[in-house]
Amino acid sequence: MDVRDMKGNPGIWEKLSWADLSTKEKELWTLLGWEADKWDRNEAPPSTDKFWDDLNFQERKAAEGLGFTEKIWNNFEDE
């Protein structure tokens, strides 16, 4: 498995520990500013406070690689 299909439900990521993520998923989340310790404590990086249009190219590509669209990203509330 490279990247799991979140099927439009970004809440699936919150149910996983960093250890549960594939190498590719870790790579993409790292591009968005996440690290293992922050992930497991749910300490969100600055990218999570950005709207889609404010993500830089690298962040947007990482988000797309994880299955996010502009609509999903802008409407997702981290729990």
- Are 3 and 67 in contact by the 8 Å Cβ rule? The answer is yes
pLDDT tens readout for residues 25-79: 999 999 999 999 999 999 999 999 999 999 999 999 999 999 999 999 999 876 5
Query: Which are the contacts of 13, defined by CB distance < 8 A and separation ≥ 6?
Result: 6, 66
Q: Which of 37, 48, 42 is nearest to 77 (CA)?
A: 48
Return the pLDDT at 52. 98
Return the pLDDT at 77. 74
Using a cut of 0.75, tell me whether the model's pTM lies above it: yes
Query: Which are the contacts of 18, defined by CB distance < 8 A and separation ≥ 6?
Result: 26, 36, 39, 40
- Are 22 and 2 in contact by the 8 Å Cβ rule? The answer is yes
